[in-house]
Structure 1
Amino acid sequence: MVAHNGRLSDGSPPISTIEMKPMSGQLFDHDGQRKYLTADEREAFLKAAERAPREVRTLCGVLAFTGCRISEALALTADRVDLAGRLIVFESLKKRRKGVYRGVPAPPALLDALDLVHNIRQLQQARGGGRNARLWSMSRPTAWRQVKAIMDAAGIGSGPQASPKGLRHGFGVAAVSAGIPLNMVQKWLGHAQLSTTAIYAAAVGDEEHHIASRMW
């Protein structure tokens, strides 16, 4: 991307001009352990999820492919799965006010699975359009345990990355590694500040090598 007037062609400022937050408490914990899933771990997680009950499998898919918070996934109702627009619309629950939404593109296979398992089209055609039909009835602690069990089955281990938050961080790292503009990743993750999103450009391991390889 070519810089113009101090900004990149996608309208976002260069990473060097973004005030980066300290890495402790972000992609690494206080012991220096990473808090995000690598590409291989994300793939292993999704494969392990294929053997889980259908509702757990769809929950895992939404978390992995949209980077949403687990509470945002559990708040999803049928009317916010936009099959025609190929989007899942989340209410950003960490905002200071309610009613702030963001649309995140979703893979066709995930949308098909949501329709099959949760009867999206049927609910949207019913009275009320599915506005009060939550996709998952489980509590947040139950959902957390279900996701953690899938990670255990995938052999991801017991580090800080082995959590629903690790999926969210893994989504951010994967997006930046794929060359998605930071302002777009910011929108998808629902970050208020671009500096929060910019931490994913500091990923290590295979992700860092992938980013660096663009200069080689």
Structure 2
Amino acid sequence: METAAEPLPLHPQLAADPLVQRFEQHLRIERNASEHTVAAYMQDLAQFAAHAFGETAPPFNWLTPDRFTVRGFLVDCQKGGAAPATTRRKLAAVRAFYTYLIREGDAERNPCAGLRGPRLPRRLPDVLTVQQVEALLQAPLAELQARRERSGVPPPPIEAYAAWRDAAIFEVLYSTGARVAEAAALTRATVDLDGAVVRLRGKGRKERLGALGRPAVEALRQTLDFAAFIWPGSASPSSAVFLNLRGGPLTPRSIERQMKRWLAAAGLPPRLTPHKLRHSFATHLLEAGADLRSVQEMLGHASLSTTQIYTHVTVERLKEVYRQAHPRA
């Protein structure tokens, strides 16, 4: 059954600071930020407070830090081994905090004004070929069929369920471009097999529709039917779609473990993860002529620039084909 995430406790160094307490509530209520984002921002602010105020006990005088304080904080982060993306997030957390203070009349200037985080290296995502995707999607049911042929009798319902479930997970990830956590969070109420769509809840709790292909619909139908037969209580609308073999919700980590198993069965590189199916979904759509804005909406990206990384993947592929096939390359 889907349950709301419990709010994480405020970082102890900031628990006595009223401005930070109000900012935390602003993140949760007004910005509808996820618990992961709230926890990360609170940790970032705690680190900034340690840099700016040293051993001073809260509540802190947040008006004293200036842009040189923030710049020194970023330098310390980088010297401490923080990745560029992590350092940029820490800057974003401090910037968002001061933006909030200015809005509330508790500060007049933002010490982050004019500062930029370290440049991010452009990393092209790993993408499976269409043939590799097909091999992965077919692996669970191929093994189920092979087991049936060896024994000469239908497999037990629990084994059939596990195979259809894993096939359905991979079909949903590739058919919709869902993040693994979004797929794990699906409930029966969010799946419309007749309409061939699922409702996905993404970052910031934003909802979007994901389209299902015919193989995904069939795999989901079999999964839900087997689950209802094995665990009758799982047929309620609030029940998770993907269950472990004890009838409880399957976790994203468990999905990753299952994928490792089927990658090996399909003879695919073990480094591949469920998120690579999301990358493959976007890249294959663009290669087939889908427009960037539509792919952005399907992925649930807030910014088009995030989606544009996949255009570089397709360009690199075109270059590789050219180098391999053209006589004058």
TM-score, normalization: structure 1? 0.70
The alignment partner of 1:175 has SS state of: helix
* Bigger share in helix: 2
Deviation of the 1:76 alpha carbon: 0.2
Which amino acid in 1 is paired with 2:268? I
Query: Which of 139, 155, 159 is the aligned partner of 2:267?
Result: 155
Which amino acid in 2 is paired with 1:56? D
Which amino acid in 2 is paired with 1:105? A
Residues of 1 paired with 2:138 and 2:315: CA distance?
Answer: 22
Q: Which runs of 5+ in 2 are unaligned?
A: 1-118, 144-162, 229-234, 243-248, 323-329
Instruction: Show the counterpart of 1:114.
Output: 220
Query: Which of 6, 24, 43 is the aligned partner of 2:122?
Result: 24
What is the CA RMSD across the aligned residues, in angstroms? 3.1
Q: Which runs of 5+ in 1 are unaligned?
A: 1-20, 28-34, 123-128
Query: Which of 205, 225, 241 is the aligned partner of 1:135?
Result: 241
Could you say which structure has the larger radius of gyration?
A: 2
Deviation of the 1:22 alpha carbon: 5.7
Instruction: Show the counterpart of 1:145.
Output: 257
- Structure 1 runs (4+) deviating above 4 angstroms are 204-207, 209-212
Instruction: Give matches, 1:1-216, under 5 Å.
Output: 24-27=122-125, 35-51=126-142, 53-92=163-202, 94-95=203-204, 98=205, 100-119=206-225, 130-136=236-242, 137-159=249-271, 162-203=272-313, 207-208=317-318
Deviation of the 1:191 alpha carbon: 0.7
Identify which of structures 1 and 2 has the higher relative contact order when contacts are C-alpha pairs closer than 8 Å and 6+ apart: 1
The alignment partner of 2:165 has SS state of: helix
Deviation of the 1:210 alpha carbon: 10
Distance 1:201-1:114 versus aligned 2 partners, 3 A rule: same
Residues of 2 paired with 1:110 and 1:210: CA distance?
Answer: 31
Residues of 2 paired with 1:210 and 1:102: CA distance?
Answer: 34
Q: Judge conservation of contact 1:173–1:207 (CA < 8 Å) in 2.
A: no
